[in-house]
Structure 1
């Protein structure tokens, strides 16, 4: 299990013949032996490699083995390397005590006992391997723990997203059922009323002027249904990347002017007016149908939330942008809500009793982004709102 861990041994002696003798004793297939003839050479090797054991000769010219050991113990990279001293001096010089004091784990006297040297080196090599294996296991455990934490975080995020998606689905179904019920109820009531008139042979109920009013009411309800269905289809197209953009050249100011004329009845119903300010024609290549869809949504919102105050529409060029500003003087939008109104199923204030799926601004922004443009909003609570549509002229 530990055989794959290669151990490095350092032997330091100023005499080449001693190095050769030690090398022959400690070498093996699972070991790399490095030789140094001075403390300076040894320090260079110690800083470059990770050693399982250092065998140091005590008596060397310059820096002796004890001084080298003290340097090793004072260096972070080498302080834990086991040190074995070798000396030819007699036991009466008390070198062993000084060696242990310098941080040695063993002290060998020359002439060396070959079998004892091999046995002791094998012990230190095994200890090194076990320590390395344990370190690798701890690293693997730490990696596993980090991966598990990351996985747990991802699972928690996925759970939060799923819960959010479920809430959005429930909210969506609730909104859709409510919004679809309104025009459907109108059509059902109209149908029941006509059936009642027919059952009573009440021909006066189908006079020409009353028939026109009936058709107008039916058309409004049917258009509401179509608008709701188209919004849902557009969301599906956006999600699947299939929102179609068919660009052609047209004058944006002409489109705005025609749209405001069409909104005259809606503005009157909202007890408001729409004022148009045009600096100059704005010719560009965009999808006329989709841009009209965006502007219609901005005008609808301005009238819906405009508190019966006049709405101003301004068309102008700013550098390479064609800009349309739609401003109202209504309830305004808080800074917090400005961050979310372009999300799906978000409405400025559900307490206003305003209809809609909360998809208009989301769809509008996606359409504008598909043109390389953007929608910006400036507002404050109680101070109205200004939405600016920016489309690239080039």
Structure 2
């Protein structure tokens, strides 16, 4: 409401009795009257306050009312304050016209007419309050506009994120359905072939020399299904903060050697022989299963993208902690893909024909972070990639 806006009035006169009389005339509710006995005092008040109106006496020693009015009009802070000049001089001196030339908006002659003074002051006070109210409304509208723009920007960002999430969901479901279907199709085909042999009464198809390869094929398909399911379960555990870390003391170098032996046949079949560099024991306290999971992910990627070239694996310790790395000489990873491949369901460009959900590196990084460690990646397109892990020798915490 306008009545809630306080109006400050400045009255300037070198005679105290004139100040008291004028104060009594202009005082009112929601107004504050400031008195100045000289132009210099008035300037000090003008620097500290915002006034709705200034009433200046013309005849003052030193700087007179005309000079003060002209100075106020030339100053940025005070140029818009309405000025009423007051004079006891006769009308024949044309002080009013001189006052207008110096920036006054009105002129009063002494002796003052009470009704005239109150009416004019009321007009300027109302104008000031209306202007202030309008400024507040404009400020509120500007604030609302900025808030709406911010909200609109946030909504657009959210919309883009939702669209991206929908695309990721659709891509993920497509990949999952394909990845799950492949081992299931293998198992179904094996089962159908065996049923066919049983219906034919062909017992030779189930001889001891054939049962071993049958079980190996079944085990490979089942393990592939288990790995896919475990990856999806790990994503759920990470999101809910329930990724389990159970630290125990073990030799990291020994674990790496065991993994190299487990993968050796697959790498040799792909024409990518494994080369291990491990000078001695590297003992520490970590979750052996989870760290093995990280190494297996790196080795699987090296097998997929190594382009039939040797793969170097190293494990060592220094004053910074325990380390292991996997280096291939395959297709490499572009600069724009290096950060992205550590995100959920993201894969490097050109990997569409390679099996996988795009979860391995994301899970690996979360596991290493949970141990208080870090993963470093070096890669150039056409020159292969090197994934390195640094782990603290003491546990970061147990889950």
Relative to the length of structure 2, the TM-score reads: 0.97
Q: Which runs of 5+ in 1 are unaligned?
A: none
Report the Cα offset of residue 351 of structure 1: 4.7
Q: What does the per-residue CA deviation read over 1:329-364, in whole Å, with 9 as the maximum and x for residues that have no partner?
A: 100011111121101112224456211111000100
Report the Cα offset of residue 269 of structure 1: 2.9
Alignment of 1:85-96 (within 5 A): 85-96=85-96
Q: Distance in 1 between matches of 2:290 and 2:83?
A: 81
Alignment of 1:163-312 (within 5 A): 163-312=163-312
Q: Distance in 2 between matches of 1:328 and 1:16?
A: 95
Report the Cα offset of residue 236 of structure 1: 0.7
Give the match's secondary structure for 2:249: strand
Q: Distance in 1 between matches of 2:349 and 2:225?
A: 22
Q: What does the per-residue CA deviation read over 1:33-78, in whole Å, with 9 as the maximum and x for residues that have no partner?
A: 0000011110111110110000000111111111111111111111
Q: Give the aligned partner of residue 98 of structure 1.
A: 98
Q: Distance in 2 between matches of 1:385 and 1:350?
A: 15
Q: Distance in 2 between matches of 1:353 and 1:159?
A: 30
Q: Give the aligned partner of residue 152 of structure 2.
A: 152
Relative to the length of structure 1, the TM-score reads: 0.98
Q: Distance in 2 between matches of 1:263 and 1:276?
A: 12
Question: Does residue 354 in structure 1 map to residue 359 in structure 2?
Answer: no
Q: Which moved more, 1:69-78 or 1:290-299?
A: 69-78
Q: Distance in 1 between matches of 2:269 and 2:33?
A: 96
Q: Which moved more, 1:226-235 or 1:314-323?
A: 314-323
Give the match's secondary structure for 1:281: coil
Question: Does residue 24 in structure 1 map to residue 24 in structure 2?
Answer: yes
Q: What does the per-residue CA deviation read over 1:172-203, in whole Å, with 9 as the maximum and x for residues that have no partner?
A: 00000000000000000000000000000001
Q: Which moved more, 1:355-364 or 1:89-98?
A: 89-98
Q: Distance in 1 between matches of 2:32 and 2:196?
A: 105
Q: Distance in 1 between matches of 2:92 and 2:223?
A: 112
Report the Cα offset of residue 317 of structure 1: 2.2
Give the match's secondary structure for 1:33: strand
Q: Which moved more, 1:311-320 or 1:381-390?
A: 311-320
Q: What does the per-residue CA deviation read over 1:215-274, in whole Å, with 9 as the maximum and x for residues that have no partner?
A: 000000000000000000000111111101111111111111111111112212322111
Q: Distance in 1 between matches of 2:329 and 2:9?
A: 84
Report the Cα offset of residue 163 of structure 1: 0.5
How many residues are aligned here?
A: 394
Q: Distance in 2 between matches of 1:349 and 1:137?
A: 54
Q: Distance in 1 between matches of 2:343 and 2:337?
A: 10
Give the match's secondary structure for 1:313: strand
Q: Distance in 2 between matches of 1:352 and 1:14?
A: 91
CA contact (8 A) 1:270 1:304 kept: no
CA contact (8 A) 2:337 2:349 kept: no
CA contact (8 A) 1:13 1:60 kept: yes
Report the Cα offset of residue 280 of structure 1: 3.3
